[in-house]
Amino acid sequence: MKTRVLMFGWEFPPHNSGGLGVACQGLTRAMAARGIDIIFVMPKKLDVNASWARFVFADTELETRVVNSTLKPYVTGNGYARALHDIGIYGRDLLSEVRRYALLGGQIAKEEQFDVIYAHDWLSFGAGVEAKRVSGKPLIVHVHATEFDRCGGPLGVNKDVYDIEKEGMEAADRVIAVSQYTKDIITRHYGIPDWKIKVIHNGIDEATQPHGAASRLRLSSLKASGYSIVLFLGRITLQKGPDYFLRAAKSVLMRDPKVVFLLSGSGDMERQMMDLAAQLGISDRVLFTGFLSGSDRHEVYAAADLFIMPSVSEPFGITALEAMKTGAPVLVSKQSGVAEAVKHALKVDFWDVDEMTNKILGVVRHKGLRQSLSENGRREVANLTWEDAAGKVENVLQETLLSGVQ
């Protein structure tokens, strides 16, 4: 018998706004390839006033149920309120929408046949828990990020979000963490027992790798005039450490003016970062590209002499794998999951701007270092596949199903 999974996930690229959609895509494809049946449930605002619709997306061959909801990954309470113009059937605030989505998840669980429930991150944990309640089937929650990462530390943790996360992990039969780094947060801050949590690193493969050959951004002309390109790519939020990136940029530019720093992404700190660049007097060496996907994203990775992920707290960091796969040397913060998953990357504490400067200049100045990081990194990520991750997820599914048979 094929295992049938009711999965609450998030929209795939190019409609995603971060690594969560990439992870959902990579993992579900690879699970499906292993012969696991997935009913993929995701929230999406539908034009029709229906609660949900059934799709089969040609590119995924996944049986997909789209639930009419305004939930999006990375949304905050304020962000939700701002985006919601017309209440209609939706919740009046983020938490009520999460609750509404949970109830819809429960209804779907009543209609479908499945063996196990699987939920990705807190916005869908409620739906997972509700589905478990109505069906009695085991629940696996996959933690891609916690409130502690999003807030860059224990200060500013939203109690409601924390409670939903904790409740989801407690209700779950198994918790999958994207890194040991995240597992440590889950045991320390959520009190979930060690045995219940399995670390499964994210992967990367051709299907989820951005590609294309556009030259819309014309970075080649910059490089031709002798500039090195140092890239930040991610949401411009506190969690991602863009301010450390700019402070390192300032320090580098004091010693080597032939470097351009690219900030790719959008987020609530974008304006503030533009101001900071101006304040530091480096606006002419810092380019803000906005959010990039597809071929544009490929182009910045390919042009980068160094990709930096200076995150304050990063559960994993798929962008580092994307950069490595493209052949860009990478520098990641030690406060990240990817730092434990790869050897062929430079690593630094996110707050250590001096050491970041030392490493950036090392890469910019020394071709041998760039080549070694690039060659070895590319080779290394070839072994970090979603196929591998899906195999480990399948083991967790089997264990969960076996332990359910009393």
Partner 1 sequence: MKSVCFYFQIHQPYRVKNYRVFDIGNDAEYFNDRGEGNLNNRRIVQKVAQKSYIPATKLLIELLKRHPEMRVSFSFSGVALEQLEQYVPEVIGLFKELVNTGRVEILGETYYHSLAFFYSPSEFERQVGKHRETIRRLFGVWPRVFRNTELSYRNDLGEWADKNGYAGVLAEGWDPILGWRSPNYVYKPKGSQNARLLLKNYRLSDDVAFRFSSRSWSEWPLTAEKFAQWLGVAEGDVVNLFMDYETFGEHQWEDTGIFHFLEKLPEELAKNPGIDFKTPSEVIASYDARDEVDMPHAVTWADTDRDLTAWTGNPMQRAALEAIYELEEKILLANDLKLLEDWRRLQTSDHFYYMCTKWFNDGDVHAYFSPYESPYDAHIAYMNALQDLKLRLDKRAG
Exactly one of 215, 221, 372, 398 binds partner 1 (CB under 8 A); which one? Answer: 372
d(CA 361, CA 338): 22
Please say which residue, 92 or 379, places its beta carbon nearer to partner 1. Answer: 379
CB of 180 to partner 1, least distance (A): 18
CB of 308 to partner 1, least distance (A): 14
Residue 224 neighbours by CB under 8 Å, 6+ apart: none
Q: Is position 34 an interface residue for partner 1 (rule: CB under 8 A)? A: no
Residue 114 neighbours by CB under 8 Å, 6+ apart: 4, 5, 6, 39, 135, 137
- Give the CA distances from residue 14 to residues 18, 25, 314, 330, in Å, rounded to whole numbers and listed in that order: 10, 11, 22, 24
Candidates 181-189, 222-230, 297-305, 370-378 — which segment interacts with partner 1 by CB under 8 A?
370-378
d(CA 320, CA 324): 6
d(CA 152, CA 19): 17
Count of positions on this chain that bind partner 1 (CB under 8 A): 22
CB of 346 to partner 1, least distance (A): 6
CB of 285 to partner 1, least distance (A): 18
d(CA 91, CA 24): 25
> What is the residue whose two structure tokens read 């940029």?
249
CB of 377 to partner 1, least distance (A): 10
Using CB under 8 A as the criterion, what x/- string covers residues 350-369 for binding partner 1?
----xx-xxx-xx--xxxxx
Please say which residue, 293 or 358, places its beta carbon nearer to partner 1. Answer: 358
Please say which residue, 84 or 361, places its beta carbon nearer to partner 1. Answer: 361
Q: Is position 385 an interface residue for partner 1 (rule: CB under 8 A)? A: no
**Secondary structure class of 198 (helix, strand, coil):** strand
CB of 349 to partner 1, least distance (A): 12
Please say which residue, 326 or 374, places its beta carbon nearer to partner 1. Answer: 374
Contact 139, 117 (CB under 8 A): yes
CB of 248 to partner 1, least distance (A): 12
Residue 379 neighbours by CB under 8 Å, 6+ apart: 344
Q: Is position 160 an interface residue for partner 1 (rule: CB under 8 A)? A: no
Please say which residue, 31 or 331, places its beta carbon nearer to partner 1. Answer: 331
Within 216-275, the residues that bind partner 1 by CB under 8 A are 255
The residue length of the chain stands at: 406
Please say which residue, 34 or 334, places its beta carbon nearer to partner 1. Answer: 334
CB of 280 to partner 1, least distance (A): 18
Within 311-350, the residues that bind partner 1 by CB under 8 A are 343-344, 346-347
CB of 84 to partner 1, least distance (A): 47
- Give the CA distances from residue 278 to residues 43, 140, 282, 285, 395, in Å, rounded to whole numbers and listed in that order: 39, 47, 6, 10, 51
Exactly one of 371, 395, 398, 403 binds partner 1 (CB under 8 A); which one? Answer: 371
Please say which residue, 61 or 349, places its beta carbon nearer to partner 1. Answer: 349
**Which residues pair with residue 53 across a beta bridge?**
66
Query: Which of 209, 196, 202 minimizes the C-alpha distance to 169?
Result: 196
Please say which residue, 254 or 278, places its beta carbon nearer to partner 1. Answer: 254
Please say which residue, 221 or 371, places its beta carbon nearer to partner 1. Answer: 371
Burial string for 286-298 (b: 16+ CB within 10 Å, else e) reads: bbbbebbeebbbb
**Quick one: how far is CA 69 from the chain centroid?**
21
- Give the CA distances from residue 13 to residues 16, 47, 364, in Å, rounded to whole numbers and listed in that order: 5, 20, 32
Give me the residues that bind partner 1 (CB under 8 A), please: 255, 343-344, 346-347, 354-355, 357-359, 361-362, 365-369, 371-373, 375-376
